[in-house]
Amino acid sequence: MKCGAVRSLRAAWSAGELPLEQEDLAALDEGSGIPGRPARPELVSPLEVKHRSMGTPEGRAALIHALAHIEFNAINLALDAVWRFPGMPRDFYADWMQVADEEAYHFSLLADHLKTLGYAYGDFTAHNALWDMAESTKGDVLARIALVPRTLEARGLDAAPPVRAKLAQAGDLAAAEILDIIMRDEVGHVLIGNRWFNWLCEQRQLDPVATFAQLCLRHKAPPLRGPFNLEARRAAGFSDEEMLMFTDLSR
C-alpha cells in the first residue's frame, strides 16, 4: 500500500496535479516526526540484529530482509526531504520525489522476492540507524544531504558488489539481478545528493570538503572506511579531491 501511494504521489507531481507551495511546506505539522511504518519489523539496536549464515535459506532471506528494510527507510528519507525543508529550488523537490519513487520500486522488488523464499517483510528484526541520522540532521538541509545520501547511502555503493557476489554464489540469481537494478539507481541517488550538497555549499560560501568533515564530527557520522567502490563513487559525482581521499583510505 505504501509503495503504491508513493508511486501515485510521484505520478501526480509529474503531471502537475500536486502543487507544492513554500507556504504549504512551512505550515505542515511535524506531529511525532516519525513516518508511517508497519508494526513489524521489531526495531532493535544494530548490535542486536542477529547474523545468520548465507549458507542457509533463512540466512539468505534475512539478508534480503535487511536490504528491504534499508529501502523502506530510504522511501521515508526521500519524502522527509521533500516536506521538511522549505525554500529550496523546485528541482530539489522533484529530485527527491523521484528518489522516493525509485526506492519504493526497490522495496517492492525485494519484498516480492522475500515471499518466494517463504518469508515476508517484518519476519526478522531490524535496526533504525538510517532514521536516527535523519532525526539528527532534521534542523539543517545541508547536514541532511551531507550525511544521508553522501554518507550512509554512499556506503551502499561500496557494499552492494560483494553482497551481490555472495547472493550469486549462493545460487540466488534473481536477488543478484535485483541488486543490479538497485545499484544502478543508487548511483543516481548519491549523484543527486552530491549535486545539492555542492549547491548548498556554494550558496553559503562554504568549502565542501572542510564542511563535510565538520558535519561528520558534529553529527557523529560513521567513519569512512574502505574498501570503496571508486568507479561508482566517481560516477556518483564525488570530487577529485574526495576521490583522492577514498583512494588513500583504501590503501
Q: pLDDT tens-digit profile of 66-101?
A: 999 999 999 999 999 998 998 999 999 999 999 999
For residue 125, pLDDT beyond 60: yes
**Of the given ranges (88-92, 138-142, 241-245), which has the lowest mean pLDDT?**
241-245
CB environment 45-79: b (16+ within 10 A), e (fewer)? eeeebeeeebeeeeebbbbbbbbbbbbbbbbbbbb
For residue 25, pLDDT beyond 90: no
Q: Average pLDDT in the 15-29 region?
A: 60
DSSP class of residue 26 equals: H
| pLDDT per position as a tens digit, 192-203 | 999 999 999 999
For residue 225, pLDDT beyond 90: no
Looking at every residue in the chain, the average pLDDT score rounds to 87
**What residues pair up with 126 in beta bridges, in sequence order?**
43
Q: What is the pTM of this model?
A: 0.90
> Residue 18 has what pLDDT?
73
> Residue 27 has what pLDDT?
46
Q: Average pLDDT in the 5-30 region?
A: 69
> Residue 45 has what pLDDT?
67
In order of their start, the domains of the chain are 2-8+52-250 (1.20.1260.10)
Does 115 or 227 have the greater pLDDT score? 115
> Residue 33 has what pLDDT?
57
Q: Average pLDDT in the 133-145 region?
A: 93
Tell me if residue 126 falls in helix, strand or coil. strand
| pLDDT per position as a tens digit, 40-59 | 887 776 666 677 777 788 88
**Of the given ranges (50-59, 154-163, 200-209), which has the lowest mean pLDDT?**
50-59
> Residue 21 has what pLDDT?
58
Q: Average pLDDT in the 136-162 region?
A: 94
Closest alpha carbon to 60 in 171, 159, 146, 148: 171
Rounded-to-integer distance, Cα 200 and Cα 206, Å: 8
